[in-house]
Amino acid sequence: MTQNEEIARRRTFAIISHPDAGKTTLTEKLLLFGGAIHVAGAVKSNKIKKTATSDWMEIEKQRGISVATSVMGFDYEGYKINILDTPGHQDFAEDTYRTLTAVDSVIIVVDVAKGVEQQTRRLMEVCRMRNTPVIIFVNKLDREGRDPFEILDELESELKISVRPLSWPINIGAKFKGVYNIYEHSLDLFTPDKQRVSERVEIDNLDDPRIDEAVGETDAAKLREDIELIDGVYPEFSTEEYLEGKSAPVFFGSALNTFGVKELLDCFVKIAPAPKPVTAEERVVRPDEPNFSGFVFKIHANMDPNHRSCIAFVKVCSGKFERNAPYRHIRQGKILKFAAPTAFMAQKKSIVDEAWPGDIVGIPDTGNFKIGDTLTQGEELHFKGLPSFSPEMFKYIENTDPMKTKQLEKGIHQLMDEGVAQLFINQFNGRKIIGTVGQLQFEVIQYRLLHEYGAQCRWEPISLYKACWIESDDPEALAQFKRRKHQFMALDNQGRDVFLADSNYVLQMARNDNPAIRFHTSSEY
């Protein structure tokens, strides 16, 4: 295959949602259709002994949640599909935000009973920042939930995107009979089965009497009424608007029962974008360029507990990545060769000889990489920063064993490079402040510092509301602000100025009193 053919058949996307909406279950079913696995595992079940493929860490198996992004690649009907299953739990949101920089499109999973939840809104903001195309899968239709029209209204108002249903449910909950596929004009009847697909009724159009036979006259009449309403209210589906991130197609189904998933996948591979150009600081990098370039969007330590090894996840942006070829590490200015680059099926890795734009390659990391690093065939390229959002919780980190100061320093810096949390150094007293999005991360950091670096730490409370990155076109105004607020000024681990506001009132006053200064709550301006 030529490079352009390889690029055209790639589909790299993330599955995102609030915890428990059914994200990992949907991933399992997509893998089942791709033939990548033969039995779908359970995310949380006493009967099924096989756990979900993408939840391979011990804590994930025990709690039934994803705590790290998993990468899985498989072939489906001539397409090469790369799925990134992300954590839904807000304590691990940073990992998800970074993952969104490495994908070309996104599938958002929404629970039909709960609708749009807080975490889904935050993730949609990141998609909007990057104009990422979004498909929405409304899940759990076999359970009692809300009216589908009500869900559509909520999706539009909460996610601030226009929607267009491409499939429509016939009842929900105990009376759920199936889904009418608007995109392909077919009817799929529901039979609960976790491993097999339900039956399809071939129909010519909505007036086909076979619909009445399959679901009964009352439900058939309601379906026709609903579709007429949809055609009257919602604009015709436009692939261009979807690709520009302005409109989101909506599918309905039940991932647990493998229902509505194939319809989603079949439509997705047709309309979702192949790898797109990526903006670097110097220029726009196109996937069909002959020279290789890529960036590190994630580093994962200890994927194999028997070897204390880190894996850097590299998104290929252009050209062809080849094993053992010399590539330039831009930040360090070094030439590196990789003898064992890997492709992923969650924790399982297999060595690859080549990879194309859109693919995710795992590179064994001995401390060379930081998140955001660029690899090229020689050209000076810097891919734009990966977003960091202002943490929700802050604590001072203190050393409890003076003999292990070096180990603690090394541990803090490596974990911050991995993106576990954010480090701020207070300019007034020199103390280190760790910022996270959830309490669970403090426990993870303390545990990993002790078990991986032999360093002990303790946490001390600090009352902070927000960390804001500041910048200004007026150097004098910036210097004056930093002098006035020196007690509240810090540097992040890249040496950028950060204002630590201890309340919403203080932050609003600072904004009002200093119009020349821009306050950012995310570090990718």
Q: Are residues 344 and 207 in the same domain?
A: no
Torsion sign over Cα 346, 349, 350, 352:
positive
171/463 Cα distance (integer angstroms): 50
**Cβ proximity of 349 and 340 under 8 Å:** no
For residue 329, tell me if it sits in a domain: yes
Domain range for residue 474? 393-520
The strand ranges marked E within 60-117 are 70-76, 79-85, 105-111
Q: Are residues 131 and 205 in the same domain?
A: yes
In this predicted model, what pLDDT tens digit does every residue of 172-191 receive, in sequence order? 888 888 888 888 888 878 77
**Cβ proximity of 181 and 25 under 8 Å:** no
User: Which amino acid is it at 497?
Assistant: D
The strand ranges marked E within 54-173 are 70-76, 79-85, 105-111, 134-139, 162-165, 167-170
Who has greater pLDDT, 36 or 412? Answer: 412
Q: Are residues 360 and 431 in the same domain?
A: no
Which of 101, 137, 152, 81 minimizes the C-alpha distance to 387?
Answer: 101
The structural domain count of the chain equals 3
Rounded to a whole number of angstroms, the distance between the first and last alpha carbons of the chain is 39
299/364 Cα distance (integer angstroms): 10
For residue 217, tell me if it sits in a domain: yes
The rounded radius of gyration (Å) of the Cα atoms in the chain is: 24
For residue 388, tell me if it sits in a domain: no
Mean pLDDT, rounded, for 35-54? 42
- Using the 3D structure, point to which of 271, 303, 319 is the last residue of a domain: 271
The greatest distance separating any two alpha carbons of the chain, rounded to the nearest whole angstrom, comes to 81
For residue 82, tell me if it sits in a domain: no
Contacts of 434 (CB under 8 A, 6+ apart): 394, 395, 396, 397, 412, 421, 422, 423, 424, 442, 445, 459
Q: Are residues 107 and 233 in the same domain?
A: yes
Torsion sign over Cα 355, 359, 365, 368:
positive
45-54, 226-235, 440-449: range with lowest mean pLDDT = 45-54
Q: Are residues 257 and 340 in the same domain?
A: no
- Using the 3D structure, point to which of 271, 293, 310 is the last residue of a domain: 271
CB atoms within 10 A of CB 249: 25
414/449 Cα distance (integer angstroms): 10
Percent of the chain clearing pLDDT 70 (strictly above): 85
Q: Are residues 246 and 367 in the same domain?
A: no
Q: Are residues 181 and 298 in the same domain?
A: no
Which of 364, 332, 369 minimizes the C-alpha distance to 349?
Answer: 364
What CATH number did the domain enclosing 314 receive? 3.40.50.300
For residue 155, tell me if it sits in a domain: yes
412/453 Cα distance (integer angstroms): 9
Q: Are residues 406 and 472 in the same domain?
A: yes
29-38, 230-239, 441-450: range with lowest mean pLDDT = 29-38
Give CA separation, 85 vs 12, 18, 196, 217, 501, in Å: 11, 12, 22, 41, 34
Burial of 176 (0-12, 13-18, 19+ CB in 10 A): buried
Using alpha carbons only, what angle is made at residue 270 by residues 269 and 274, rounded to the nearest 5 degrees?
70
425 forms beta bridges with 432, 491
What CATH number did the domain enclosing 491 receive? 3.30.70.3280
Mean pLDDT, rounded, for 276-281? 87
Give CA separation, 239 vs 104, 135, 155, 164, in Å: 15, 11, 19, 11
pLDDT at 94: 64
- Specify the 3-state DSSP secondary structure of 421: coil
- Using the 3D structure, point to which of 341, 376, 411 is the last residue of a domain: 376
Mean pLDDT, rounded, for 21-31? 79
For residue 356, tell me if it sits in a domain: yes
For residue 259, tell me if it sits in a domain: yes
pLDDT at 424: 94
**Cβ proximity of 441 and 435 under 8 Å:** no
Tokens representing residue 132 in the block: 């990422």
Who has greater pLDDT, 385 or 76? Answer: 76
pLDDT at 303: 53
199/176 Cα distance (integer angstroms): 14
Who has greater pLDDT, 254 or 119? Answer: 254
Q: Are residues 255 and 289 in the same domain?
A: no
- Specify the 3-state DSSP secondary structure of 1: coil
For residue 108, tell me if it sits in a domain: yes
Q: Are residues 147 and 245 in the same domain?
A: yes
17/53 Cα distance (integer angstroms): 18
User: Which amino acid is it at 211?
Assistant: I
155/94 Cα distance (integer angstroms): 23
Mean pLDDT, rounded, for 402-424? 85
387/426 Cα distance (integer angstroms): 22
In this predicted model, what pLDDT tens digit does every residue of 289-317 receive, in sequence order? 999 999 988 877 655 545 556 788 899 99
Contacts of 309 (CB under 8 A, 6+ apart): 301, 302, 303, 364, 365
pTM: 0.77
**Cβ proximity of 128 and 160 under 8 Å:** yes
Q: Are residues 223 and 100 in the same domain?
A: yes
Tokens representing residue 289 in the block: 């360029």
In this predicted model, what pLDDT tens digit does every residue of 434-493 receive, in sequence order? 998 778 788 888 888 888 788 999 999 999 999 999 999 999 999 999 999 999 999 988
498/466 Cα distance (integer angstroms): 10
- Specify the 3-state DSSP secondary structure of 171: coil
**Cβ proximity of 276 and 163 under 8 Å:** no
Q: Are residues 221 and 292 in the same domain?
A: no
Mean pLDDT, rounded, for 384-396? 78
237/255 Cα distance (integer angstroms): 24
Tokens representing residue 457 in the block: 């730490």
In this predicted model, what pLDDT tens digit does every residue of 322-356 receive, in sequence order? 989 999 999 889 899 988 888 765 445 678 888 89
**Cβ proximity of 114 and 150 under 8 Å:** no
